[in-house]
Chains A and B, each alone.
Chain A
Amino acid sequence: MPEFKMGLVDGPSTDEPGRVWDLVVAGGGPAGMSAAIYAARYSLETLVLEGMEPGGQLSLTARIENYPGVPETSGADLASAMRKQVLDSGSTLRSEVVRSVEDKGGKGLVVYTDSAEYAARCLMIATGAAPRRLGVPGEERLHGRGVSYCATCDAPFFRDAHVMVVGGGDSAVKEAMHLADFADRVTLIHRRDELRAEPILARRIQSREGVEILWSTTLEEILGDDSVEGVILSRDGDRQRMDLDGVFLYVGRSPATAPFRGLVELADDGTVLTRGNVLTSHPGVVAAGDVTDNPLRQIVTAVGDGARAATAVYEKLKG
């Protein structure tokens, strides 16, 4: 029996004049949603600007096995459950993307989206990270035509096909496994001679039927006119062509910090510098989840820091 996902896509909306939110959360992934649930319990007027991707990267994860209390679930289901809990908590969700933030001195912050502006006493940066582009020829041109960053979305287009997954981390391995449910053949290439993924995942992928791993191999170019036809691989300087139908890239993530440049201090890799896990260089601005410099990027750490961030805001506003 098919599954049915509840939820609505909201339309444009504006605040009544003079409204000031206690907390505006930029980002609707696990960190932002956890903060919204905690903030609502602290009676903070909270608005979550969840952007175009409800649930953030969580929604794109096919299978989750390391979230305590939920032995096995899909990212989409866990994200919808969290989102429902946010709505039930009394916090407000809007599908707008934060573009910039202005500090009005003693008068708080103004958060600008594509279509509106919101006055806020405090801001939480929880915009997460987006898949990093590898930057090889053909990647941009063939995006959506065989080049993908979302196996959960696009795997069904590669039934009985030969696809490549690039990367060696948790995401690359998990999504290669998901793709193997659809594709006839999955080739995972990794530039090192050992996977970076959790050992349990690394073991599983190496014994998975239909999946082959090419070690110490890099992707040099993606070939094809209207759709992906093949790739050029390089190993020890040897270039080789391989014919295939799709390329899924999991080569790390770039933090989504562009709107906050100049507001908070960033690390060299673009993540938000934090103290005590969630405090930023700017008073009244907290951050949590994959957007920060915290090294462990997990759902549990995101929700934990989300709670911490909401608590820090509560302590500050209580005075």
Chain B
Amino acid sequence: MAMLSEKDQKQIEEIFGTLKRKVVLRVYVQKLECDTCSDTEQILGELAQLSDLLEVEMYNPQVDAEQAEADGVEMVPAIVVSDGTQSRARFYGTPSGYEFSSLLTAIVDMGMERPPIEESTAEFLEGLEEDLDIKVFVTPSCPYCPRAAVLGLRLAMASPRVTAQVVEANEYPDLSRKYSVQGVPRTVINGRLYAEGALPEGQFVSALAAGLSREGEADIVALAREG
């Protein structure tokens, strides 16, 4: 049985109508030790039918180890959102619930000529002096999460210095524990800067810049509040 209703399919076809260029999703799944891989495989298979500009490639990280390494994929299920070349924007976990709207947005963003970011954000990325590893922990039932997830992914699409990983916290309890995730969305940057909740882009980026300029751990939300 199809996971997407006919109505959903129609709506997604309309959304994908805005794609200006090819989008390639590299999906990593395996049969063993992965409860959610078959759901992920099915929903991505259904999505692939909804636009000529969307290609979905299936990989098994055991078999396609080289490709997995190139994509930096360490867990399954994983979805790398790309234009067919290298990409540093990826999802870990089944894209269900609100995560599905994050995935749809990521596809639309990748299908634009340039990812949609504010000018001040582009300037910040231009001036970056270190690489950023952004992890955004989310759950499918969290309506605030897509805002935080999409912002992280847009930064990764816009700058070769940024990697963004959106992690479904329930599916990776060990990783969530490692990064003290007990609430979502929780964004962790380079293991030392963190934010609880979603912030508007401008506020997030200027607080992030402030956090990068000092040493040690820092709470991005507190920095944003200080202005």
> Nearest residue in B to A84 (C-beta to C-beta)?
B11
Contact A156 B96 (CB under 8 A): no
Nearest Cβ distance between residue A98 and chain B, in whole angstroms?
Answer: 11
A152-211 contacts to B, CB under 8 A, are: 152-158
Nearest Cβ distance between residue B25 and chain A, in whole angstroms?
Answer: 15
B85 at the interface (CB under 8 A from A): no
Contact B183 A154 (CB under 8 A): yes
The contact of A52 among B8, B101, B141, B200, by CB within 8 Å, is B200
A79 at the interface (CB under 8 A from B): yes
> Nearest residue in B to A148 (C-beta to C-beta)?
B183
A6 at the interface (CB under 8 A from B): yes
Contact A76 B141 (CB under 8 A): yes
On chain A, the residues within 8 Å of B115 by CB distance are 11
B129-168 contacts to A, CB under 8 A, are: 139-147, 150, 154
A3-17 contacts to B, CB under 8 A, are: 3-12
The contact of A4 among B96, B176, B199, B201, by CB within 8 Å, is B96
The contact of A114 among B39, B95, B200, by CB within 8 Å, is B200
Contact A54 B143 (CB under 8 A): yes
B218 at the interface (CB under 8 A from A): no
A236-263 contacts to B, CB under 8 A, are: 246
> Nearest residue in A to B2 (C-beta to C-beta)?
A1
The contact of A3 among B96, B169, B186, by CB within 8 Å, is B96
> Nearest residue in A to B94 (C-beta to C-beta)?
A2
On chain A, the residues within 8 Å of B176 by CB distance are 157
Instruction: Indicate with 1 or 0, residue by residue over A283-316, a CB within 8 angstroms of chain B CB atoms.
Output: 0000000000000000000000000000000000
> Nearest residue in B to A76 (C-beta to C-beta)?
B143
- Given the contacts A12-B118, A156-B139, A2 and B97 also touching, CB distance less than 8 Å: yes
B170 at the interface (CB under 8 A from A): yes
B180 at the interface (CB under 8 A from A): yes
Nearest Cβ distance between residue B52 and chain A, in whole angstroms?
Answer: 20
Contact B150 A153 (CB under 8 A): no
B223 at the interface (CB under 8 A from A): no
Bound complex: CA A9 to CA B139 (Å):
16
Count A-B contacts at CB 8 Å: 131
Binds B, one of A138-146, A212-220, A269-277: A138-146
Contact B97 A3 (CB under 8 A): yes
On chain B, the residues within 8 Å of A95 by CB distance are 147
Binds A, one of B26-34, B62-70, B74-82, B103-111: B103-111
Contact A12 B201 (CB under 8 A): yes
Instruction: Indicate with 1 or 0, residue by residue over A4-47, a CB within 8 angstroms of chain B CB atoms.
Output: 11111111100000000000000000000000000000000000
B124 at the interface (CB under 8 A from A): no
Nearest Cβ distance between residue A5 and chain B, in whole angstroms?
Answer: 5
Nearest Cβ distance between residue B136 and chain A, in whole angstroms?
Answer: 12
B187-215 contacts to A, CB under 8 A, are: 196-203
Bound complex: CA A8 to CA B11 (Å):
11
- Given the contacts A1-B3, A6-B11, A55-B143, A157 and B186 also touching, CB distance less than 8 Å: no
A109 at the interface (CB under 8 A from B): no
On chain A, the residues within 8 Å of B118 by CB distance are 12, 115
> Nearest residue in B to A146 (C-beta to C-beta)?
B182
A31-80 contacts to B, CB under 8 A, are: 52-55, 59-60, 76, 79
Bound complex: CA A79 to CA B203 (Å):
26
B1-42 contacts to A, CB under 8 A, are: 1, 3-4, 8, 11-12, 15, 39
- Given the contacts A3-B96, A6-B8, A52-B144, A12 and B117 also touching, CB distance less than 8 Å: yes
The contact of A156 among B95, B101, B116, B141, by CB within 8 Å, is B141
B184 at the interface (CB under 8 A from A): yes
Bound complex: CA A157 to CA B150 (Å):
22
On chain B, the residues within 8 Å of A7 by CB distance are 101, 104, 146
Contact A4 B97 (CB under 8 A): yes
Bound complex: CA A150 to CA B144 (Å):
11
B59 at the interface (CB under 8 A from A): no
On chain B, the residues within 8 Å of A145 by CB distance are 180, 182-183
On chain A, the residues within 8 Å of B170 by CB distance are 156
A125 at the interface (CB under 8 A from B): no
> Nearest residue in A to B141 (C-beta to C-beta)?
A152
14 A-B contacts, Cβ less than 8 Å apart? Answer: A2-B97, A3-B96, A3-B97, A4-B4, A6-B12, A52-B147, A52-B197, A52-B198, A97-B200, A114-B203, A152-B141, A153-B142, A154-B139, A157-B169
Q: Which 7 A-B pairs have the closest CB atoms?
A: A11-B116, A2-B96, A144-B196, A59-B143, A144-B183, A4-B100, A153-B142
Given contacts A10-B116, A144-B183, A157-B169, 11 further A-B contacts (CB under 8 A): A1-B1, A4-B4, A4-B8, A6-B12, A8-B104, A9-B102, A95-B147, A144-B186, A144-B196, A153-B139, A153-B143
